[in-house]
DNA sequence: ACCGTAGGTGGACGCCGTACACCCGGCGGT
DNA sequence: ACCGCCGGGTGTACGGCGTCCACCTACGGT
């Protein structure tokens, strides 16, 4: 028994490191969302006692920063040899793919931005290079400034994942009956019906999130292009 | 002593109610942010024991829903007798004012949307009436659908409060020295300097958040208008 | 052979959300 | 006048959280 314990003690346990902690944390958040993420659970996943993590990250905040850095680092670098418009477009779409891979990320990044000292360097680098793309396209500093604000703003106050699907979620016990739904929210239901009957995409909801996103992106880029052209 | 205790016992303590709980919660969140919000603290603010709250709200989730309903209800109703464009514009600006009043709200709403059964009826009503504004302006269902997605999307993946100020926050111990800043993030610094020297708004940072927001809003509305016109 | 140190451990503290049993005061029925 | 019901506030307790602190242990440099 003690012999086996000794055996187990120098089991080739890879020795833990900031990278390993961060990866485990990201993995845990990817499946199970951000509130399935606790120091204790990360430690458990790594087969280690909770406090061991603190030898590699200062605290949970700093761990979240590290996770952000990790996933923002996944965004593809800008393509060379392309107009500003396609360069920005590709970059934003790559960022979006990252955010779909790590659904917790957008919320965490946003929360971290709200009242913190400074964004992490990796985020800064992302923003910097995005600005660089506009500048390379000949945008004035002023217009770039506006552009960055436009691309970061959420006009409705919250984002689109609002009524995207209407399907997939399980029936939802206390949902309103359709007739009352139609009575109280006529426009929403009209829209939902129209979208549903439209094109009959096999997956159920006829609303293709990706193309909606690209629609918004292109509308914005077109608008910026027009302003850029108007400024000679 | 016991006499006084008896006195205290029928102190005219207004008898608690869902409304009072919600108001206290909103007040607590307004000052101190969303993580200063705990059942125990709300109870304390109301001079009551924590579990008393549960006679009026089912649990913390439901309480957050209630808070959202409360603040979304603060958004001004649509103005009558105006074109779709100004009607939408005013409504969005009113929503923004609410979100500035309750900085915690956007985060909570967004989080709640991510993986929940359904938005609360008040939020639905807000969306419904927004859709109604576009419809009244003659937009096709299809275009309205696009429009709602556009207005809800955050192209950068996170919103603008990113590097808005650069001032106000206290010095921040471990900030990069300006020269390294300039070296690593040349575009950001160039932009920041340009904005700072621009116009010299008294408050320090030369970036007026409100007008940036309106810039983004107008750019979007113009884009939608153009699409609407193109569709005859 | 020694010791300093980096890295893993164990326990404890104070906070959180909330389940459960309780208790008290006012009100309707008799 | 009494009784029993019940709505709403109370007390206690549990499990989970982040993190402080003291501790141990194995290893590399001298």
pLDDT at site B112: 83
Mean pLDDT for A34-57 is: 96
CA distances from A141 to A18, A132, B94, B112, B193 (A): 38, 10, 30, 37, 10
CB contact under 8 A, B152 and A152: no
Query: Residue A161: its pLDDT value, please?
Result: 57
Q: Are B79 and B90 in contact (CB under 8 A)?
A: yes
Nearest CA-CA distance, residue A83 and chain B, Å = 18
For B186-219, the pLDDT digits (tens) are 787 777 777 776 655 555 556 777 777 788 888 9
Full set of structural domains in chain B with CATH: 13-57 (1.10.10.60), 72-154 (no CATH), 175-219 (no CATH)
CA at A58, C1' at D17: how many angstroms apart?
17
pLDDT (tens digit, 9 = 90+) per residue, A14-27? 778 999 999 999 99
pLDDT at residue number B186: 77
Is A160 a residue whose pLDDT tops 90?
A: no
Distance of CA B128 to the CA centre of its chain: 18
Please state which of the ranges A27-31, A94-98, B184-188 shows the lowest mean pLDDT: B184-188
Alpha carbon distances (Å) from A176 to A101, A166, B67, B117: 32, 13, 21, 12
> Nearest CA to CA, how far is B53 from chain A (Å)?
23
Position A4 pLDDT exceeds 50: no
Chain C: nucleotides below 7 Å from protein CB are 6-11, 15-21, 25-26
Low-confidence ranges of chain B (pLDDT < 70): 1-13, 115-117, 156-176, 197-206
CA angle (A101 as vertex; B216, A145 as ends), nearest 5: 25
The pLDDT tens digits of the residues spanning A100-155 come to 999 999 999 988 877 666 788 898 889 889 889 999 999 998 888 888 888 888 77
Q: What is the pLDDT of residue A189?
A: 76
Residue A54 pLDDT level (bands cut at 50, 70, 90)? very high
Q: Rg of the Cα trace of chain B? A: 23
The pLDDT score that the predictor gives to residue B6 is: 39
Structure tokens that stand for A99 in this block: 């955010």
Q: What is the mean predicted confidence (pLDDT) over A181-199?
A: 74
pLDDT of residue A175: 66
* Whole-number Å distance between alpha carbons of A119 and A112: 8
Average pLDDT over residues A69-91: 94
Answer yes or no: is A96 CB < 7 A from strand D.
no
- According to the model, what pLDDT value does residue A9 have? 42
In this prediction, residue A6 has a pLDDT band, given cuts at 50, 70 and 90, of very low
């Amino acid at each position: 028994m003690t012999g086996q314990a000794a055996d187990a003690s120098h089991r080739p346990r890879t020795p833990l490191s900031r990278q390993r902690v961060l990866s485990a944390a990201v993995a845990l958040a990817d499946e199970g969302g951000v509130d399935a993420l606790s120091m204790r659970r990360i430690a458990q996943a790594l087969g280690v006692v909770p406090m061991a993590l603190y030898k590699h990250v200062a605290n949970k905040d700093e761990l979240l920063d590290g996770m952000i850095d990790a996933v923002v680092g996944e965004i593809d670098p800008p393509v060379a040899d392309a107009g500003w418009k396609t360069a920005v477009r590709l970059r934003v779409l790559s960022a979006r793919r990252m955010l779909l891979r790590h659904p917790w990320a957008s919320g965490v990044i946003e929360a971290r931005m709200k009242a913190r000292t400074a964004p992490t360097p990796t985020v800064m680098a992302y923003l910097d290079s995005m600005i660089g793309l506009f500048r390379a396209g000949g945008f004035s500093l002023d217009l770039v400034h506006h552009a960055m604000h436009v691309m970061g703003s959420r006009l409705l106050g919250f984002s689109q994942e609002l009524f995207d699907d209407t399907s997939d979620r399980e029936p939802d016990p206390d949902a309103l009956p359709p007739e009352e739904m139609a009575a109280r929210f006529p426009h929403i239901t009209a829209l939902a019906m129209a979208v549903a009957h439209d094109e009959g995409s096999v997956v159920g909801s006829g609303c293709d999130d990706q193309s909606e996103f690209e629609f918004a992106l292109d509308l914005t880029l077109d608008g910026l292009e027009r302003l850029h052209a108007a400024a000679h």
